[in-house]
Structure 1
Amino acid sequence: MNRKYPLLLNPIYKDPTAEDIYNELNIRYRVCFKFVKKSDEEEHICVCNRPRKAHKSTDIELQDTKWDMLRNTYEELNPAHGRLQNGALFTQLALDTSEGKVERILLDVWKITKPRLIMSIIGGAKYFILSDRLETNFINGIIDVALKSDAWLITNGYNIGIVQVVGQAINKVKLTQPKKSITAIGICKWGSVKNVEELIQPLPRNHQKMMDNYNMIISDEKVKKRESGQRDLEMNHSHYLMLDDGTLRHYDTGDYRTRLCVHMAKLQHEIDFPVPVVTIVVEGGRDTITNIY
């Protein structure tokens, strides 16, 4: 499938080399082509959550065959990438994209300043309530460190749980300290972002029209029911890496975030020491621990 998306990767829209670098990296996404029955109750639905007719191959895997990304999907070039309607930079990319290529996207294409500190914030995928005092102290501490140390905040990018609270704090900084910025990178699943095809539409030339369209999307959220495995994107992040393994409505990204943090920590800044990485865990269960290790 050949898709055309605007290549608005350079934050100031002037340097053509950002687009060139991205194209040289041959970033890809994944498409499921070989059907594997999800269950006896859903025999016409694949494990990837797409119907049988959406698969190119007419071959049917044996009943006990386990769906596997490398065996059941193929890679396609020209993934969706550019800017979301909130101005944040994003790219869709295969789940097995090397950390080295992601490093090039972050530093050479998106021109993000190398971090002095990386804070990976992990929490349970459910709504929760902190006491006002605890929430204020906790979030203010994270934001204060991020502003003073050129830190990167790395989350799952979904508007739920602790990430939702972090997003609200980032928005507060935008409103009260407009000259300051926070690098917040959401590492999420392309197939789990609700209405992702609408969110990635090109920016309208008229800013007011952009806001009207954005508000229209938000209003539509109240009408469209969220399916199991879907999450709303937290819209105050500055960048999004949308990992794609060819499935829909599956959150799991394995240990990708941890491997990327470890890789980026090895990059030297102005000093000869590795970049420190701090993992902050708020609630969660077994999946939360899996995301760390």
Structure 2
Amino acid sequence: MPLGRHSATGVFRTKTEHLSHSSSDSSGSSSSDTSSIPTPWIERNITALECGKFLPARRSVVNSRCCCGLSLNEHAPDVKLEALARLGVPEFRALVTGGPNVAAHRIPSTNERWQVKTHTREMSTNAYGTVEFQGGPHPTRARYVRLHYDTSPEVVLQLLLHEWCIGVPNLVISTLGGLANAPLQSKLKRVVQSGLLRAAKTIGAWVITNGLDIGVTRHIGDALGDEVHVRGSNIVALGIAPWGYVQHRETLLGLDHTCAYYSQGWKPGRQEAPLHSHHNYFLLADNGTTGKFGGELCLRRRLEQYLAQQPIDMRRYGGSKSRVPIVGVLLEGGAQTFRTVFELVTGRNPVPVVVCDGSGRAADLLAFMHRYANEDGDLPGPLKEQMIGTIGRTFQLRRADSEGLYSELRLCMKRRRLISVFRMGEGDSDEIDITILTALLQGMSFGVSPSSGNRNL
């Protein structure tokens, strides 16, 4: 039985110990059957999800899909058989084949609501390997795996460090922002991109994004460029994307699979987006849904919080052992961004956040609050009313919802020492990498103390 979401013991073994352990596993298998080939670690330990029950999202059978996002035909055979018995032959046939009289059929009403935990089933992953991006001057390659959104961070780190042999990070830059393809001011874009690349190259960072060629990740990926694929590069660009939102994900199916990947670009209204080619690793988080975001956030936050707890040997920098430093960098951002920032700065291991003022929407609102909020995180009366109105216009929300987002902004301001604002033309430097390092120092003084543990990543 695969480990799946459960913890893998010995995640922090050295590479030699890990290989020795794998060898002993292999020799144990061969002693009983010399012709058998050990099952690869990924297939034993990484799982995925699929929908286990077809629950129509609407009573009409016209273009009706399951609440998971798939049509009935895209479900497993046993799921379709169960739907046949439950819905009846006429409705089932109408769902499968359509036809001129399809609108005459109605799906029986039900009070059952589709939920990830109760209407999906776990299986060994059926998609991992190497993706080769086409369409550029030369193909670029990246490792990928489809995995359960609730996979334990210990298992994920075992995959990254020992199976994919990624170096331990000296810094983790977690990029935050919106999905809208909003343009950045040309000078700000140039400054942010060059600064991020400089920070990643100089320090040997992991840069974590949502992995898709849309929104802020497009700007971040373009900043890293082909540097992530240069032989000997110490930059790790890790995309943590929702499996069900990946364009052409069917080409990724296969075990230890190598596939050519052609991006068709993102089109408005389509519930899918291509992978960004300027990444060298992808974790494709699967929560059993298609065309939806959400599962990848759970996987990503747990991994980042877990990394923030791990000791790293800082003796090479003249210090002792300390924790892996993590910083969030916010460009633009939607209505959900305030909650994300709040979770980062108030977590068990708080993560400092750099906000890029002038990049739009959520980032600009946070920067304004950071400048004008008083000690308890609130704005003076007139400014508060102005802010609530601006929130409503920015995100097209009703008054009550705008007030709710304002409350989240206030909560973020209670940890304002962990929020740094990068403004071009203000301060001694227009280099965002300096702001990132300053934010890390502020975060360490706020609540990140050196680790006394003796485990090595």
**TM-score of the superposed pair, with normalisation by structure 1:** 0.80
Change (3 A) 1:189 1:236: same
**In the alignment, is residue 198 of structure 1 matched against residue 251 of structure 2?**
yes
Does residue 70 of structure 1 match 2:117?
yes
Partner of 1:32: 51
CA contact (8 A) 2:131 2:144 kept: yes
Q: 2:137 matched to 1:90?
A: no
Give the number of aligned pairs. Answer: 264
> Structure 1 181/273 Cα, relative in aligned 2: closer, same or farther at 3 Å?
closer
| Cα distance in structure 2, aligned partners of 1:125 and 1:260 | 21
2:68 aligns to what?
Answer: 48
Check conservation: 2:47, 2:122, Cα contact below 8 A.
Answer: yes
The aligned residue for residue 186 of structure 1 is 239
| Counterpart mapping for 1:91-110 below 5 A | 91-110=145-164
For residue 20 of structure 1, report the CA deviation from its aligned partner: 4.1
Rounded Cα–Cα distance in structure 2 between residues aligned with 1:225 and 1:130: 19
Larger-Rg structure: 2
Mapped to 2, the partners of 1:174 and 1:118 lie a distance apart of 15
Structure 1 residue 226: deviation in Å?
Answer: 7.2
Deviations 1:95-152 (A, max 9, x none): 1111111010111111111111111101110101112211111111111111111111
Q: Does 1:248 align with 2:295?
A: no
Helix, strand or coil at the partner of 2:322? coil
1:21 maps to 2:41: yes
Counterpart selection for 1:141 from 195, 201, 212: 195
CA distance in 1, matches of 2:118, 2:153: 22
Closer/same/farther in 2, CA of residues 137 and 156 from structure 1, 3 Å limit? same
- Mapped contact 2:226–2:278 kept (Cα < 8 A): no
Calculate the aligned-residue CA RMSD, in Å.
2.8
For residue 159 of structure 1, give the secondary structure of its aligned residue in structure 2.
coil
Q: Which residue of 2 aligns with 1:230?
A: 272
CA contact (8 A) 2:311 2:323 kept: yes
Return 5+ residue gaps in structure 2 as ranges: 1-18, 24-38, 87-107, 133-139, 315-320, 344-457
Q: TM-score, normalised by structure 2?
A: 0.53
Q: Percent identity?
A: 26
Q: What's the offset of the Cα at 1:39?
A: 2.3
Q: Distance in 1 between matches of 2:51 and 2:268?
A: 23
Equivalent residues of 1:255, 1:291 under 8 A apart: no
Cα distance in 2 for residues equivalent to 1:153 and 1:198: 26
Cα distance in 2 for partners of 1:263, 1:235 equals: 27
1:87, CA displacement in angstroms?
1.4
Higher helix share: 2
Unmatched 5+ stretches in structure 1: 1-14, 205-212
Q: Distance in 2 between matches of 1:42 and 1:102?
A: 40
Matched residues in 2 for 1:121 and 1:174: separation?
Answer: 16
Q: One-letter code of the match for 1:72?
A: H
Partner amino acid, structure 2, of 1:264? L
1:262 to 299, 305, 309: 305
Return closer, same or farther for 1:62/1:105 CA change in 2, 3 Å cut-off: farther
Q: Which 4+ runs in 1 deviate beyond 6 A?
A: none
Distance 1:89 1:225, change over 3 A: same
CA distance in 1, matches of 2:54, 2:159: 32
